[in-house]
Structure formats: C-alpha cells, structure tokens
C-alpha cells in the first residue's frame, strides 16, 4: 500500500497535474505535438527554446484558445526592476504561472505585480548535483539549498517552487500544503541516468513525495506512441488520487 501522507491535497484536476514540456524548435512543430496529444494533455510548458523562435506569443494564445493551461518557463533573472516589469507584462496574458530566478529583491518585485498568475521560484536546476554546486561555490548539499530557497520564496509571497522530486518530500513536510511544487526531471526507472537530468524520479514517486504537478517531456516525445504514453501517465495519476480518496 503506497504512503499517501504527502500526496497533494490541492483542488487540482488530476488531468492538470501532468504538464507536457514543449521543448521544440518551432511554433509549428509545437502545434503538431498539441494536435497529436489532443485531450491527453491539458497543461503545457513553453520555455526558452521556443522563446527564441518566431511565434512564441502566438503559440501561447493558440494554446489558450484551445482551453489549455500555459506555464511560461523563462526563468526571469535580471535586475529587480527589469524582472518586475517583465512579470507585470506577462501577468496580463492569462497564463497560469511563470518561473523567476534570483535574490530576495528579484522575487519580491515579481510577486508585487503577478496578479492572478502564480510566481514559481527556481530552487536548484535538476541538471545539477552536489559536484556542480561545489563548482559554483555552494558549501552545502542540494537538499539543504533547495529547502532554504523554497522557504525564503514562500515567505516572500511566491506561490511555489520548481523542485526535483528528490527534495519534494522535505519541502511538503516542512513547508506545508500551501506551497505549490512543480517537479521536472520525471523519468522511467530504466533510463533515469541516460541523459542530462541528474536528479530524477518516476512520476508516481514524485507525486507521492508531495509534487503538485509533474513536468514530462522526453519520456512522452520519445515514446513509440506519444499520445498513448501520455494517456498511460494520466491513468497512473488518476488511479493514484482515486486510491488516496478511497482511504479518506
């Protein structure tokens, strides 16, 4: 029997807990994936790769027109006033959430103008491990740094954080249900160590560790039947939350 004690209690539709990463080179290719996945995916992440292509904002508007939720993952990081102005502009576009990276003053500026949009603080990228932190001059382990940054972000007024599933359990246990946790680096057991993501976890394990949403890209894109893989993941999520509900 799984331990459901850290499972998210937020009022989020199970189908919205899976976020597909549109890490693709062009708007047209991204829309082909949206067409292919159809109703198997309701929530999309659009990041830097597409931002550097033509049609980023047209893609965002098209996703919204199709009743999809949009996560703008641009990791805003600049002087506080510049980030504040960028977040203010973005807040009028009707997206669900965005990512901000940096110091307390940067996060405070973003929070002050976010409106209904959720601001998510970046903790430690899932492509980094302890060796990378040593190279960057951080004299602490990954889990402690993630927790410290998440605690600060919540105190400032951020809605949540981006965090590996490996740190999600400590965040949920220590910082409570209010914190929104979005977890990238989702990998099947058999290929966790075969790409650039170093701190990874399976979908079910991440949710049981307290993640509210999981971001999935390559495991769906590289599947023989991508839509079928997305539906399989949606079924896993629905089953997990239904099982927890039966025990209430």
Per DSSP, helices labelled H in the chain are 27-37, 48-51, 56-65, 80-91, 104-112, 130-136, 142-156, 165-175, 203-208, 218-221, 226-246
The set of catalytic residues is: 75
The Cα 201–Cα 56 span in angstroms is 30
Under DSSP, the state recorded for 25 is: S
Do 186 and 207 touch, CB atoms closer than 8 A? no
The Cα 172–Cα 154 span in angstroms is 12
């Amino acid at each position: 029997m799984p331990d459901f004690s850290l499972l998210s209690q937020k009022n989020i539709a199970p189908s919205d807990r899976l976020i597909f990463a549109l890490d693709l080179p062009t708007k047209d290719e991204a829309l082909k994936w949206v067409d292919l996945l159809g109703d198997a995916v309701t929530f999309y992440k659009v990041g830097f790769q597409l931002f550097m292509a033509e049609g980023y904002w047209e893609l965002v508007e098209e996703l919204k027109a199709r009743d999809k939720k949009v996560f703008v993952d641009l990791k805003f990081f600049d002087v506080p006033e510049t980030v504040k102005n960028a977040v203010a502009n973005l807040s009028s576009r009707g997206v669900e959430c965005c990512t901000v990276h940096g110091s307390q003053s940067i996060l405070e500026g973003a929070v002050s103008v976010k409106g209904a949009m959720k601001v998510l603080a970046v903790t430690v990228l899932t492509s980094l491990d302890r060796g990378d932190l040593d190279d960057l001059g951080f004299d602490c382990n990954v889990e402690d740094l993630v927790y410290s940054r998440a605690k600060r972000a919540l105190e400032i007024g951020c809605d949540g954080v981006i965090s590996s599933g490996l740190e999600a359990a400590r965040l949920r246990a220590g910082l409570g249900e209010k914190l929104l946790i979005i977890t990238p680096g989702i990998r099947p057991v058999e290929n966790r160590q075969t790409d650039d993501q170093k701190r990874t976890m399976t979908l079910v394990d991440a949710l049981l560790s307290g993640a509210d949403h999981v971001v999935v890209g390559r495991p769906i894109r590289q599947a023989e039947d991508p839509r079928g893989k997305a539906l399989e993941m949606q079924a896993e999520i629905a089953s997990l939350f239904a099982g927890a509900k039966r025990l209430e």
